[in-house]
């Protein structure tokens, strides 16, 4: 059986320059990450160009809503259709105008709402949320629509450690699965740069493949292909 075990590292919000500052680290270990952007309308032209540069290095730019609301709180006052019209369509329209075609979405605060899943899957290939339950972080190589991720913000999460992450990477290898993670800042208040490098090196040494999130949504028939999301591709 062909080994397709791997790791998918994602980052949330818009810590653009911190993410871009790790590009050499990513290149050293062959990392292709997914960056989920919120408040895209507030970005400067230079910040948007920086995202384009990350994409040129093989990374994915995903979508993280306009204003970063908790889905459950939003739906106490509005409908799922309102969520799409207020928090999804304006942002992805603006991203398209600037040359991005986001096909992956992640829920702010990891506050997933099953009512919204089917609505969101009309516009995205794959959705991501998060949970403290490690059993939910491992996924098949292909055909995923909704995936759960584990937290890598080790600097602010005392319940998580590098040793735990290394055990999880070995588990992904042994189970021939993909382990999905999320973080925010790189540095103080998020994942320390040194910890990120140690995780990437450990995955590299285990011969785990680095995947963007949309790649693990590909159907099984195309699971062997490496897919790069480029401008002009259709939104699913």
The span from the CA of 36 to the CA of 89, in Å, is: 15
Please check whether residue 233 lies inside any domain of the structure: no
Residue 133's pLDDT is: 98
Residue 85 lies in a domain: yes
What pLDDT does residue 231 have?
32
Under 8 Å between Cβ of 232 and 36:
no
Residue 218's pLDDT is 86
Number of neighbours of residue 46 by Cβ within 10 angstroms: 9
Collect all residues with Cβ–Cβ distance below 8 Å to 87 and sequence separation of at least 6: 65, 66, 67, 69, 74
Q: What distance in Å separates the CA atoms of residue 68 and residue 192, rounded to the nearest whole number?
A: 24
How many domains is the chain built from? 1
Is 232 inside a domain boundary? no
Q: What is the pLDDT of residue 234?
A: 32
Does residue 236 form part of some domain?
no
pLDDT in the model for residue 162: 97
User: Does residue 130 lie within any of the structural domains?
Assistant: yes
- In this prediction, residue 221 carries a pLDDT of 58
In tens, the pLDDT along 88-129 reads: 999 999 999 999 999 999 999 999 999 899 999 999 999 999
**What are 171's two structure tokens?**
């588990």
At 2 the pLDDT is: 52
Give the CATH number, domain containing residue 105: 3.20.20.370
Q: Is the whole-model pTM more than 0.85? A: yes
Find the domain containing 189 and state its range: 6-222
Whether residue 182 is contained in a domain is answered as yes
228 lies in a domain? no
pLDDT at 219: 86
Instruction: Tell me the backbone φ, ψ of residue 13, rounded to 5 degrees.
Output: 90, -125
Q: 144 lies in a domain?
A: yes
Show the low-confidence residues of the chain (pLDDT under 70). Answer: 1-3, 221-236
Q: Which two tokens stand for residue 165?
A: 């992450």
């Amino acid at each position: 059986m062909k080994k397709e075990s791997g790791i998918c590292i994602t980052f949330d919000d818009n810590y653009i320059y911190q993410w871009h500052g790790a590009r050499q680290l990513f290149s050293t270990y062959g990392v292709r990450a997914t960056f989920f952007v919120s408040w895209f309308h507030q970005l400067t032209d230079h910040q948007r160009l920086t995202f384009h540069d990350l994409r040129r290095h093989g990374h994915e730019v995903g979508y993280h809503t306009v204003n970063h609301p908790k889905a459950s709180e939003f739906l106490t006052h509005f409908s799922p259709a309102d969520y799409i019209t207020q928090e999804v369509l304006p942002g992805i329209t603006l991203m398209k105008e600037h040359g991005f075609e986001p096909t992956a979405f992640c829920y702010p605060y990891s506050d997933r709402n099953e009512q919204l899943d089917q609505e969101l899957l009309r516009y995205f290939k794959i959705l991501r949320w998060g949970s403290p339950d490690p059993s939910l972080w491992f996924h098949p190589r292909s055909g995923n629509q909704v995936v759960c991720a584990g937290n890598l913000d080790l600097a602010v999460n005392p319940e998580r450690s590098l040793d735990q992450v290394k055990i999880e990477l070995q588990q992904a290898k042994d189970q021939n699965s993909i382990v999905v993670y999320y973080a925010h800042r790189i540095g103080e208040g998020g994942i320390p740069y040194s910890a990120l490098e140690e995780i990437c090196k450990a995955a590299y040494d285990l011969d785990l493949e680095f995947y963007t999130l949309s790649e693990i949504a590909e159907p099984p028939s195309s699971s062997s292909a490496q897919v790069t999301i480029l401008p002009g591709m259709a939104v699913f």
